[in-house]
Structure 1
Amino acid sequence: MGKSRVHWLRFPFLRLTSSFRRCPLSKRSLIIGSVCVFHLLLVVSHFGYSQNQLERGTDEDKYRNARGLYNLDISDALSDSVDLPTGASFVVPTRSNVVYITLKYKRLKPAHIRGTIRPKLRRKVRRKETNSAFTQYKLVTLERDAGQNKHNFASKASWGETRDVYYKSLDITHIYPTNTQIDSHISSIRIYSQRAPPWLSPKDVEVMRFLADANVLRIKEVSLGDSPTLLVFEGETNVPMKNQKHTQRSNVCGGQCGVINIPVDTSEVFAFHLDRVLGLNRTLPAVSRKFSFLHDGQPCPVVSWDASLYPEGLAAGWSTVKLSWAEYQNSLKQRCWHKNISPKPDSGCFTVHHYEWSKLALFDFLLQIHNRLDYSCCGFRPRQEDVCVELGHHAQCGDPNHIQLTNILHRDHDPRHLVFTNNKGFFDRNEDNLDFRLLEGIKELPEQSVSVLKSKRLREKLLQSLFLDQTYWESQGGRQGIDKLIDVIERRAKVLLTYINAHGIKVITMHV
């Protein structure tokens, strides 16, 4: 049975081969060529299909990896920041690979607000000692490491005492450890695309890179009398100074400089990015950076130095608007400089434009910064360790109209606009103890900022912005720690939107 089946299968094949041998040579060549061409087409088509599948998988992987950082709809992003004078910015990427950030991460339990502040940083110390970051002991240690035999103190000037340490003749890499990331090839400002987030201007990115990566040439501790001591460092840069006249007059910074704050003031960095995301543009650029000779190498917030805030030198201090709470409330009613109309001499107006107070109130409420509009902590329940209680300012709340506002600053050449400095926010204040005094007298708020709060894209934008500063990102515990901070801001944003609807506050476009 099996043999007959085999013979039956072989019979057609034998007939085909015998007929093929009897065909003329030309027909046999044509048949063989046709079979070869058909086989070649099959091989080429199969290889092309495999290659297309491989490329499609590679493209999907690239898209999946790249969509987390800057896969913004540019038209949508620019529409949110149409009022910004900067617009989209093109920068040079500092990293070759990309990192995928997803917004689908959800915690099973709500964030514990108290966990965002380390208890050890709440210990009670003298304020003067807390702000004096660069002690005599650290000066001696630093000069010993640099190989100097004696201190080089600058002479006392009219603006106070400064102490200089010069590094111009030294190799800076011998002073800093490798984890400070001063290598020009590895910047702590990580940008993976040629387009930075549209709310950051090219100047912002330039200053951030300087503050984070510039080699330190010298450091000065500047004493301002009763004010906290400033620790200013001058960095090596090839960028020309546009504000050279203010630099020469201040006699503090001979080039481009930054102010080093203590590690507990990390909210300065978060405040800078929040300010840019909201489209306010009133804070100075700030990054987080490690210094081997300060605070045991802990990350310190570094803020850009702006000499125009000292128009008459450091002896006169900040360019401050001095007014009481009652005068501030009266200026809100007068709508000073609204529509660029000069106020009457007896109106009680100051140099600040009316819209600036609205931007300041919104910014301070989200971060609960009370050291400007509520220095005495009259609008909330302070703790015993808060400065306003320790120094006795909280007792002045019985007569709030005479309480002076503090830290209301503007540049020498621009008295209409405020500059938000000393942005010490509080993330551990619950929603039942928010300072609503910051919003008292405010009848209008900027439309651009409120639209960001309503768009439900605040978290996405803050993640994209804060991710640029690698040192700050890692110091807060990575994505999980940053999410806790943003949770607090989002809850306060909801409270603010409810307050706007309940009090009939107008949301208007503010071009100043």
Structure 2
Amino acid sequence: MAQRPWRRTGLKPPASAALGVLLALALLALSHLPPPPDRSPHPLPALSPPGPQPEAAAPLSGVQTRSKRLPISPVHLQWDQPPGQGRRRRRGVGGDAPPWLSNDDLQKMQLLASGQVVSKTRVPAHGQVLRVGLRAMGDAERDASPASPEWECQDGRCGLIKRPRDLYEVLAFHLDRVLGLNRSLPAVARRFTSHLLPYSYTDGSLRPIIWWAPDLWHLEDVNNDQNSCALGWLQYQEMLQPHGPAVTAGDASCSSIPRGEWSRLALFDFLLQVHDRLDRYCCGFQPDASEPCMEEMLHEKCRNPAELVLVHILVRRSAPSRLVFIDNAGRLQHPEEKLNFRLLQGIDSFPAAAVATLRSGRLQNLLLESLHMDRELWESQGGAEGLRPLLRTIDRRARILLRYIQERNLTVFEDSLR
């Protein structure tokens, strides 16, 4: 191509020009020779633009991580290392766990949800409740040792399996944490397959399992072993007075409970309509004939307040000034026109953080975010759509409670005892 103009004019290219052309061609050829081997420790530069980078490894569950706090699919708790191997981080497929669930909560939830059942014992006077020893997956130190129910439970590795109808206990646990009360024991929903359990526990039904606190303070009285102290209704009302009398020396476990603890309990029980602790006689509403307080003829005792006692008033020996909320199944089907305001009697202030959450208008969404951590419960209830009716019930009760506080000009207190 470069020589055509010269031929077209009939002229010969000058020698110097031809030499220049040859030199240019030689340089061009040299530039295309492969470079000598690079003996330096640095990698060779890319000869072409880099292609698509390989994708990062997927999480262990095989589900890609989403950036939203509340993903569509339920969250499985995942740990960076197996239990017992180094420090764990809170992480779920949908992102970090909600801040109101502590690391201790998440570890106990993981144990309850996936721990191997290694022992079982009946709980006296609770025919449909089993206490089971649990062994965490990957717990090599315990794999070779024989299971001992008492040893496992004293080590904090036991749970109570309760009836399918007690599933509300799981919802109650998350409500407790969302409100910042932190008085309920961790609970999850689970289906059991262990050969150690009776068939009624392994038939595929979903049951709640609640962490067993090894140091709950029980009275030695077999007729009143579900209390840390014997407390009557009239005595309880006296304790709620600003300068009420102290409990007798024999009930030291109750005398150390500050008034704020009773406020937390009353707020929690009102939202769930739990009557068994503060009003097991159903004195605060007209019960149906099917209510236990009617079947056991307890309601008749409402005529004599001196006979009324509180039940399930428990503390831990390691924290005698903090109540422990147990048996929190609640009654979300309890009609709104029969709400039991007796549960609030004598309470003149409420924890500020809990009241602020009720006022925020976000209670339902916060509960959904928290319940989303329990895969079994979430799926069994049909996800957010199935849970919404229950959460709306709690939200309506919260609004009624806020109106109750406002109309009576009650106060709030800062929660110094967490």
Do the structures match in fold with TM over 0.5? yes
Equivalent position of 2:200 in the other structure: 294
Structure 2 counterpart SS, 1:432: helix
Equivalent position of 2:99 in the other structure: 198
Structure 2 counterpart SS, 1:450: helix
Structure 1 counterpart SS, 2:240: helix
Equivalent position of 1:309 in the other structure: 216
- Give distance in 2, aligned partners of 1:481 and 1:452: 23
Equivalent position of 1:105 in the other structure: none
Identity %: 37
TM alignment of 1:217-366, pairs within 5 A? 217-224=118-125, 230-237=129-136, 238=139, 253=153, 255=155, 256-292=157-193, 293-295=199-201, 296-310=203-217, 317-334=225-242, 350-366=255-271
Q: In the comparison of the two structures, how many residue pairs are matched?
A: 352
TM alignment of 1:171-182, pairs within 5 A? none
- How far 1:196 sits from its partner (Å)? 1.5
Preserved contact between residue 411 and residue 419 of structure 1 (Cα < 8 Å): yes
Structure 2 counterpart of 1:307, one-letter code: P
Please list every run of at least 4 consecutive aligned residues from structure 1 whose deviation after the TM superposition is greater than 4 angstroms.
62-65, 310-316, 342-345
TM alignment of 1:55-454, pairs within 5 A? 65-69=66-70, 92=79, 191-192=92-93, 195-224=96-125, 230-237=129-136, 238=139, 253=153, 255=155, 256-292=157-193, 293-295=199-201, 296-310=203-217, 317-334=225-242, 350-454=255-359
- Give distance in 2, aligned partners of 1:204 and 1:400: 39
Residues 63, 356 of structure 1: alpha-carbon distance in 2 compared, 3 angstrom cutoff: same
Preserved contact between residue 130 and residue 162 of structure 2 (Cα < 8 Å): yes
Structure 1 counterpart SS, 2:68: helix
Structure 1 counterpart of 2:134, one-letter code: G
Residues 263, 231 of structure 1: alpha-carbon distance in 2 compared, 3 angstrom cutoff: same
Preserved contact between residue 226 and residue 311 of structure 2 (Cα < 8 Å): no
Structure 2 counterpart of 1:67, one-letter code: K
- Give distance in 2, aligned partners of 1:454 and 1:404: 33
Preserved contact between residue 217 and residue 228 of structure 2 (Cα < 8 Å): no
- Give distance in 1, aligned partners of 2:108 and 2:381: 22
TM-score scaled by length of structure 2: 0.72
Structure 2 counterpart of 1:294, one-letter code: S
The gaps in structure 1 that reach 5 residues or longer are 1-17, 19-23, 30-46, 52-61, 71-89, 95-188, 242-246
- Give distance in 1, aligned partners of 2:291 and 2:257: 29
Structure 1 counterpart of 2:97, one-letter code: A
Equivalent position of 1:123 in the other structure: none
Structure 2 counterpart of 1:200, one-letter code: L
Residues 309, 335 of structure 1: alpha-carbon distance in 2 compared, 3 angstrom cutoff: farther
Residues 311, 370 of structure 1: alpha-carbon distance in 2 compared, 3 angstrom cutoff: closer
- How far 1:390 sits from its partner (Å)? 0.7
Structure 2 counterpart of 1:392, one-letter code: M
- How far 1:251 sits from its partner (Å)? 7.0
Preserved contact between residue 129 and residue 163 of structure 2 (Cα < 8 Å): no
Structure 2 counterpart SS, 1:418: strand
- How far 1:331 sits from its partner (Å)? 0.6
Preserved contact between residue 239 and residue 247 of structure 2 (Cα < 8 Å): no
Structure 1 counterpart SS, 2:170: helix
1:231-271 Cα deviation digits (max 9, x unpaired)? 11111133999xxxxx99x6783641111001000111000
Structure 2 counterpart SS, 1:333: coil
| RMSD, aligned CA | 4.2
Preserved contact between residue 351 and residue 412 of structure 2 (Cα < 8 Å): yes
- Give distance in 1, aligned partners of 2:344 and 2:282: 14
The gaps in structure 2 that reach 5 residues or longer are 1-7, 9-19, 26-48, 53-62, 72-76, 82-89, 143-147, 194-198
- How far 1:424 sits from its partner (Å)? 2.0
Bigger Rg over Cα: 2
Residues 360, 228 of structure 1: alpha-carbon distance in 2 compared, 3 angstrom cutoff: farther
- Give distance in 2, aligned partners of 1:239 and 1:446: 43
1:374-422 Cα deviation digits (max 9, x unpaired)? 1111112222111111111111222234311111111123221100001
Residues 228, 380 of structure 1: alpha-carbon distance in 2 compared, 3 angstrom cutoff: farther
TM-score scaled by length of structure 1: 0.59
Residues 291, 64 of structure 1: alpha-carbon distance in 2 compared, 3 angstrom cutoff: closer
- How far 1:65 sits from its partner (Å)? 4.8
1:157-185 Cα deviation digits (max 9, x unpaired)? xxxxxxxxxxxxxxxxxxxxxxxxxxxxx
- How far 1:336 sits from its partner (Å)? 6.3
